[in-house]
C-alpha cells in the first residue's frame, strides 16, 4: 500500500505524470469541466471534501511554482483567498478573470472536483521542479 499522503489512485497518477510547467486544477463542485479534460471527482456531499483539504493533500506531493486564481475570489471569497495564501506563502499568484480560468482548464492535466460549495474556490497549480 502507498505510504505517502495522496492515496486516490487517479490523483496520484496525474501528479506523478506532471512535468515542469504542467498544470493541475482543483475546484468547487460547480466548476464546469471542458470535454477532453480529465475530471477526478472526489465530491461526496456538500462540503466534503473541502477545497482546502484537497489542496493541502495535493501540495504534499506536487512542487508548485505558480498559481492562478480568479480575480473574483478577492471580493467574493476573501476567506478562501487567505487560506490559499497561508498554504502557499512563497508562491507567485496570478489573478485572472473567472471566464479565462474556465477556458484554461482545457490545458490542465486534470481537474479535481471537490465538495466545496463556496464561490470561486478554484485554483490552477503550475508544476515546478524539485531540483
Catalytic residues: 20
90 is in an annotated binding site: no
Q: Are 131 and 32 in contact (CB under 8 A)?
A: no
**Is the alpha carbon torsion for 89, 13, 110, 5 positive or negative?**
negative
120 is in an annotated binding site: yes
Task: Confirm whether residue 121 is marked as ligand binding.
Answer: yes
Q: Which three cell numbers stand for residue 16?
A: 506523478
- Nearest Cα to Cα of residue 24 among 54, 2, 46: 54
127 is in an annotated binding site: no
Question: 3-state DSSP call for residue 46?
Answer: coil
Residue ranges of the annotated binding site are 28, 98, 120-122
Residue ranges of the annotated binding site for substrate are 28, 98, 120-122
Amino acid at each position: 500500500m502507498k505510504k505517502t499522503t495522496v492515496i486516490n489512485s487517479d490523483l496520484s497518477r496525474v501528479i506523478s505524470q506532471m512535468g515542469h510547467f504542467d498544470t493541475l486544477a482543483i475546484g468547487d463542485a460547480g466548476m464546469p469541466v471542458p470535454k477532453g479534460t480529465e475530471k477526478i471527482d472526489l465530491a461526496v456531499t456538500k462540503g466534503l471534501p473541502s477545497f482546502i483539504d484537497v489542496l493541502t493533500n495535493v501540495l504534499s506531493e506536487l512542487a508548485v511554482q505558480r498559481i492562478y486564481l480568479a480575480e473574483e475570489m478577492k471580493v467574493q471569497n476573501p476567506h478562501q483567498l487567505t487560506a490559499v495564501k497561508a498554504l502557499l506563502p512563497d508562491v507567485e499568484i496570478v489573478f485572472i478573470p473567472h471566464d479565462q480560468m474556465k477556458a484554461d482548464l482545457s490545458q490542465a492535466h486534470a481537474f479535481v472536483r471537490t465538495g466545496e460549495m463556496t464561490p470561486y474556490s478554484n485554483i490552477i497549480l503550475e508544476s515546478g521542479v524539485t531540483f
